[in-house]
Amino acid sequence: MQQRDPHEEMNPNEADHDEATCEGGCCSKGAAYDPPAPKAPAGTVVPTVVLRLSVRNHPGVMSHVCGMFARRAFNLEGILVLPVMDGTTSTMLLLVHDDRRLDQLERQLSKLEDVLEIHREATGHRAFAAVAEFIG
């Protein structure tokens, strides 16, 4: 459930759709359905958050998760994946922008059949920092 203060300005969060999909091509930019958040000006650090996913472990699961980011123009800054225990599931850590589209991102991820669980991972940044030592 989402409840909002009725006096609040109506749509501070809504994607703006001035040039929403136009078959005629009169909208030169041919905007995507869910346009990406505006790029932060150079030099500013975009806050990030780490999502921890439990996913079914099979060869196609990476295309499902990564494809969703590309398709919906969500930012994906980093990804770590390892199988757990008997190998039927994997854990994925996703480093993503903490912006107004995060909620939508989580909802879209949770619709993927192979994604079993999602939470925000408070200590996840440490994992990325550690890996950065190897590939930085």
Partner 1 sequence: MNMTGAELIMRLLERQGITTIAGIPGGANLPMYDAFHTSSIQHILVRHEQAAGFMAQGMARTTGLPAVCFATSGPGATNILTAIADAKLDSVPVICITGQVPTGLIGSDAFQEIDTYGLTVPITKHNYLVRTVEELLTVIPDAFRIAMSGRPGPVVIDVPKDVQSARIEFDAYPEPGAPDAPPRFSHDDIFRAAGLINASEKPVIYAGAGIIGSNAAPALHALAEKASIPVACTLLGLGSMPDSHPLYLGMLGMHGSRGTNMIMEECDLVIALGVRFDDRATGKAAEFCPKAHIIHIDIDRSELGKIKLPMLGIEADVRLAIEALLPEVGADKRSDWTARTTELREAHPMAMPGADDLLTPYGIIRQTAAMLDDDAIISTDVGQHQMWTAQAYPFTYPRQWLTSGGLGTMGFGLPTAIGAAVAFPERTSVCFSGDGSILMNIQELATAVEINANVKIVLLNNGHLGLVRQQQELFYGARYMASRFEARPDFATIARGFGMAACDLANEANPAEALAAALRQPGPCFINVPIAEEDCVFPMVPPGAANHTMIGGETHATA
Name the residue with tokens 């912006």.
99
| Shortest Å distance, C-beta 90 to partner 1 | 17
Q: Residues with Cβ < 8 Å from 110, sequence gap 6 or more?
A: 118
14 belongs to the binding site for partner 1 (CB under 8 A): yes
Name all contacts of 25-34 with Cβ < 8 Å and 24+ positions apart: 32/73, 34/72, 34/73, 34/101, 34/104
* 40 half-sphere exposure, CB direction, 13 A CA radius: 12
| Shortest Å distance, C-beta 62 to partner 1 | 10
Residue 101: CB atoms within 10 A of its CB come to 21
Q: What is the DSSP letter of 11?
A: -
Nearer CB in complex with partner 1: 64/125 = 64
Among the listed residues 36, 75, 108, 125, the single contact to partner 1 using CB under 8 A: 108
| Shortest Å distance, C-beta 7 to partner 1 | 11
Q: Mask: binding to partner 1, 62-101, rule CB under 8 A, as x and -?
A: -xx--x---x------------------------------
Binding site for partner 1 (CB under 8 A): 1-4, 6, 10-24, 26-27, 33-34, 59-60, 63-64, 67, 71, 103-104, 107-108, 110-111, 113-114
